[in-house]
């Protein structure tokens, strides 16, 4: 047989294999849909501050609004809250005393927008949405992101609060850089929503790790790392030590695992298992994942104890402790 025919035969067999795998995945997805009644609308957000994000998102969702608006309105509440020192206004600065913000957003069409290392703007998530809706790009960084924000009418303001500044000045006395698991030096808000129409969107916004190097960008604004949605499948968000999430492209991985037929819970557990397998020293860091699928099933899992999330479904907003790996 000529090598060309051999090739065709082999690729034909390969595609048959792929078809079989695809059919199996479809069957598993169908089974997942049968498992449970579809719960919608719903909103799910990382950490305790997710409760207030969900409340705002629910105002949009309960009146039949779009998941995209729900996640933007939801995370904006946390961005504006000076008491959340890991997101937006009041966020802790980098080691040079500068607050730099990262955010991303995705809608039900697969459109995406993001900003990173953005300074002096209170609502990076809304700038990310404008990037998505008004530019041919997905991501704007630093000065370019700020310039675009100003052109779009966003007002520059000082987002370093006195409280955050004092803590940074205190930190500078030792300059000891050691992220503390679950302590508020990371606390990103990641939010996913499934609206009444069955559409999924997601948002993620953060000031990143406290006292990071100037210019450090984490997972949160990276589409597929900090957040990912596919309206045919589901969505995922990540929080915790961004470097570990970036190295495993965590949120995309979770959604792809759901595409292969895993439930949201099994998918987030597998994404954590991937970190455990691939990244030495993972024990020193916290990572938390949330996921939803089209059927309104949810998943949550973290490396360490202490990750919690807010779930608004069936007209009730609840704060729930996540299951975790390191028992």
By annotation, the residues acting in catalysis are 188
Which residue has the closest beta carbon to ligand ASP?
242
User: What's the Cα-to-Cα distance from 183 to each of 30, 85, 188, rounded to whole Å?
Assistant: 40, 11, 12
Is 234 a residue that touches ligand ASP (CB under 6 A)? no
Nearer to ligand ASP, 86 or 231 (CB): 86
Nearer to ligand ASP, 225 or 313 (CB): 225
Is 90 a residue that touches ligand ASP (CB under 6 A)? no
Is 218 a residue that touches ligand ASP (CB under 6 A)? yes
For the bound state, the minimum distance from the C-beta of residue 147 to ligand ASP, rounded and expressed in Å, comes to 23
Is 240 a residue that touches ligand ASP (CB under 6 A)? yes
73 and 57 Cβ atoms separated by less than 8 Å: yes
Is 208 a residue that touches ligand ASP (CB under 6 A)? yes
Question: What's the chain's length in residues?
Answer: 327
In whole angstroms, give the CA distance from residue 185 to residue 195: 32
Picking from 287, 252, 110, the residue whose alpha carbon sits closest to that of residue 182 is: 287
How would you label 157-171 residue by residue, b for 16+ Cβ within 10 Å and e otherwise?
A: eebbbeebeebbeeb
Tokens 């937006």, residue located? 88
In whole angstroms, give the CA distance from residue 48 to residue 55: 12
Is 182 a residue that touches ligand ASP (CB under 6 A)? no
Q: Which of 92, 122, 186, 294 binds ligand ASP (CB under 6 A)?
A: 186
- Give residues 257-296 in contact with ligand ASP (rule: CB under 6 A): none
Is 322 a residue that touches ligand ASP (CB under 6 A)? no
Residues within the interface to ligand ASP (CB under 6 A) = 86, 186-188, 206, 208-209, 218-220, 239-242
């Amino acid at each position: 047989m000529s090598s060309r025919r051999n090739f065709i035969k082999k690729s034909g067999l390969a595609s048959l294999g792929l078809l079989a795998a695809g059919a199996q995945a479809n069957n598993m997805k169908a089974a997942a849909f049968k498992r449970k009644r579809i719960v919608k609308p719903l909103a799910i957000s990382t950490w305790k501050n997710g409760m207030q994000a969900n409340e705002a998102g629910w105002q949009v969702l309960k009146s039949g609004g779009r998941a995209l608006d729900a996640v933007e309105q939801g995370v904006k509440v946390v961005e504006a809250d000076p008491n959340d020192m890991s997101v937006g206004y009041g966020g802790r600065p980098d080691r040079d005393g500068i607050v730099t913000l990262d955010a991303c957003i995705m809608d039900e069409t697969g459109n995406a927008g993001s900003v990173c290392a953005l300074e002096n703007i209170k609502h990076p998530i809304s700038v990310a949405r404008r990037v998505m809706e008004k530019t041919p790009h997905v991501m704007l960084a630093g000065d370019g992101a700020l310039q675009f924000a100003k052109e779009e009418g966003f007002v520059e303001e000082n987002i370093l609060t006195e409280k955050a500044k004092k803590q940074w000045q205190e930190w500078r006395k030792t300059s000891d850089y050691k992220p503390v698991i679950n302590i508020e030096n990371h606390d990103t808000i990641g939010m996913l929503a499934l609206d009444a129409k069955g559409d999924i969107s997601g948002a993620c916004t953060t000031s990143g790790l406290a006292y990071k190097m100037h210019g450090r960008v984490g997972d949160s604004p990276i589409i597929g790392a900090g957040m990912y949605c596919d309206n045919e499948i589901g969505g995922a968000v990540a929080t915790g030590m961004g470097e570990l999430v970036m190295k495993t492209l965590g949120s995309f991985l979770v959604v792809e695992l759901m595409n292969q037929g895993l439930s949201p819970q099994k998918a987030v557990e597998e994404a954590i298992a991937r970190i455990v397998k691939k990244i030495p020293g993972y024990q020193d860091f916290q990572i938390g994942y949330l996921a939803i699928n089209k059927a309104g099933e949810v998943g949550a899992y973290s490396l360490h104890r202490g990750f919690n999330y807010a779930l608004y479904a069936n007209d009730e907003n609840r704060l729930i402790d996540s299951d975790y790996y390191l028992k």
